[in-house]
Structure 1
Amino acid sequence: MTVIIAFLANVLVAIAKTVAAILTSSASMVAEAAHSWADAGNEIFLLIADRRGARTKDARHPLGYGRNAFVWSLVAAFGIFTAGSIVSIMHGIQELSVGGPVESPVIAYVVLGVSFLLEGASFTQAMVKSRRLAKERGSSTWDFVLSTSDTTLRAVFFEDSAALIGLVLAGGSILLHQVTGVAAWDAVGSILIGILLGVVAIILIGRNIEFLVGTTASPKLRARVGTALLALPQIERVTYLHIEYVGPNRFFLVAEVDLAGDEQEHDVARRLRDVERQIEAHDAIETVVLSLSVDDEPSLEFAVS
């Protein structure tokens, strides 16, 4: 729902900015229009990411389709870089030498103001959700957004943040152009917006690549998972634990455990399978593989902070 709201807001804003860019001949408004059209297109990729990543696992994909979310979010991030950042910077550089006066700046201010309200509503939703989830995990909002495997939430958070900052930059550059009479300020605004989008795109690209290549679980997550395993009455010790992201908030879990009791081999194998099924019933676990610990292997200790 967050992505759909963001998409509708971006389309409306993009149309308004495009009309304003044509009427005002402002380089900053052109950059903002490109920014919003890029964001609107990216929301489509994020919708595809959510849909394809939610498919259930099958024989060909035993770990599920969750990594689709990282792939399509990576495509969306490249879209921000190419359609937003590069276009804005190149247009701003061109306008530095040939830029003319901004016509009817009031139109630009009205569109920027309305856009700020729409983008602010979308950002507020993403912020509220991020704060709630960060609080549940005992983390700051910023650290949570950067580290979360929910790539769609991170994309909406950063895109809306960049949108609000970009609107301020556009409005400020047009105002400086009016006050000083120097047309270059409008072009500088376009360049700054492009740089802003480039930074956001690089952050999003980097995080998606990390999840695709394989990133380790945080110590807090590892401690929570280990503590949950030890809380099961069937498990006495954990000597090995591997947690791998296979999608947004979805994990592949491998562990070596020491089961309670001293039963025969075929009974132990059945109990291991039953424990695996019990763990896989958790919403966040895509697949779990358990094996038996060797007696001389040291037990892992987990401290939940």
Structure 2
Amino acid sequence: MTVLIAFLANILVAIAKTVAAAITASASMVAEAAHSWADAGNEVFLILAERRGAKPKDERHPFGYGRNAFVYSLIAAFGIFTAGAIVSIMHGIQQLGKDEPVEQPIVAYIVLAIAFVLEGASFTQAFLRSRSIAHERGSSTWDFVLDTSDTTLRAVFFEDAAALIGILIAAGSILLHQVTGQAVWDAVGSILIGVLLAIVALMLIRRNVAFLVGSSLPPAVRARAGRALLQLEDVSRVTYLHLEFVGPHRLFLVAEVDLAGDDREHDVARRLRDIERRIKEHENIETAVLSLSVEDEPSLTFE
């Protein structure tokens, strides 16, 4: 739902900014139009990320299709960089040597104000959702958005935040152009918008690559999983624990455990499978694999 809201907002804003850019001949408005069209195109990839990543696992994909979400989000982040950042920076550089007035700046201000409201509504939706989940997990909103495996939520959050900042930059650049009569301010605004988009795109690319190659979980999440294992009736200690994201909110768990009692081999195997089954009932566990600990292996602590 968050992605659909962002998509509809970006389409409406992109159309309005394109019309305003044609009327005003403002470099900053051209950059903002490119920004919004890039965001709108990226939302398509984010919608695909949610749908493809939600497909259930099968024989060919025992860990499910969750990593599709990271792949499509990575493509969307490259879209921001190429269609948004590079276009805005190049257009701004091309306009540095020109001295054209901004035609009918009131049109630009009206469009930017409407865009700010629409982008603000989308950002508020993403922010409130992020803050709510972060509060449940005892984390700050900022830390949650940076660390979450929900790559589409993070993309919408930062894209909308960048959109709001970009609108303020564009409005300020056009105003400075009006007041000083120097077109360089408008060109600088376009470059600054491009730099802003490049920073956001590179951050999103970095986070998606980290999840694709195997990102370590926050210590608090690992500790919570370890404590949950120790709370199982049959588990007396844990000597190894590996957790890896295989999709948004989906984990692959591997652990070595010491079982209570001294059962025969086939009884122990059955107990291990039963524990694995119980673990996989958790909504965030895609697959769980358990093996037995060796006596001299040190126990892990989870504080």
TM-score bracket for this pair, using the shorter chain length: over 0.9
Task: Give the conservation status (yes or no) of the 8 Å contact 1:149–1:247.
Answer: yes
- Which piece of structure 1 moves more, 40-49 or 136-145? 136-145
1:223 equivalent in structure 2: 223
Q: What secondary structure does 1:97 align onto? A: coil
Native 8 Å contact 1:99 1:187 kept in 2: no
**Aligned-pair distance for 1:98?**
2.2
In 1, Cα distance between equivalents of 2:125 and 2:93: 35
| Normalised TM-score (structure 2) | 0.99
> Counterpart of 2:33 in structure 1: which amino acid?
A
SS at match of 1:239: strand
For residues 152-204 of structure 1, what are the alpha-carbon distances to aligned partners after superposition, in whole Å with 9 as ceiling and x for unaligned? 01000000000000000000000000000101111110000000000000000
Residue equivalent to 1:173: 173
User: Which structure 1 segments of 5+ residues have no match?
Assistant: none
Q: Which AA in structure 2 matches 1:104?
A: Q
In the superposition, the TM-score normalised over structure 1's length comes to 0.98
Measure the CA separation in 2 of the matches of 1:99 and 1:280.
65
1:237-277 residue CA offsets vs partner (Å, 9 max, x unmatched) = 10100001101111000000111221111111111101101
Question: What amino acid maps onto 1:252 in structure 2?
Answer: F
Fraction of identical pairs, as percent: 74
> Structure 2: where are the runs of 5+ without partners?
none
Which residue in the other structure is 2:43 paired with? Answer: 43
Give how far 1:234 is off. 1.4
Q: State the number of aligned residues.
A: 303
Helix, strand or coil: the match of 1:222?
Answer: helix
**Counterpart mapping for 1:84-103 below 5 A:** 84-103=84-103
Q: Could you tell me which residue of structure 2 aligns to residue 112 of structure 1?
A: 112
Matches within 5 A, 1:109-188: 109-188=109-188
> Which amino acid in 2 is paired with 1:277?
R
Q: Kindly state the Cα deviation for residue 99 of structure 1 after the two structures are TM-superposed.
A: 4.1
Helix, strand or coil: the match of 2:96?
helix
Verify the 8 A CA contact 1:159 1:200 in the aligned structure 2: yes
**Using the alignment, how far apart are the partners of 2:251 and 2:261 within structure 1?**
28
Give the aligned partner of residue 268 of structure 1.
Answer: 268
Question: CA separation in 2, counterparts of 1:241 and 1:159?
Answer: 35
Letter paired with 1:225: A
Paired amino acid for 2:10:
N
Q: CA deviation at 1:36?
A: 0.2
1:37-94 alpha-carbon deviations (Å, 9 max, x no partner): 0000000000000011111111111111111000000000000000000000000011
Instruction: State the secondary structure of the residue aligned to 1:88.
Output: helix
Pairwise CA RMSD: 0.6
After TM superposition, give the deviation of residue 300 of structure 1 in Å: 0.6
Divergent runs of 4+, >6 A? none
| Cα separation, 2, equivalents of 1:116 and 1:169 | 12
Does 2:60 correspond to 1:60?
yes
Deviates more, 1:127-136 or 1:32-41: 127-136
Of 155-164 and 127-136, more deviation after overlay is shown by: 127-136
Structure-1 separation of matches of 2:193 and 2:124: 21
Given that 2:85 and 2:198 are in contact with CA atoms closer than 8 Å, whether structure 1 keeps it comes out as yes
Instruction: Give 1:295 deviation, angstroms.
Output: 1.1
Partner SS for 1:98? coil
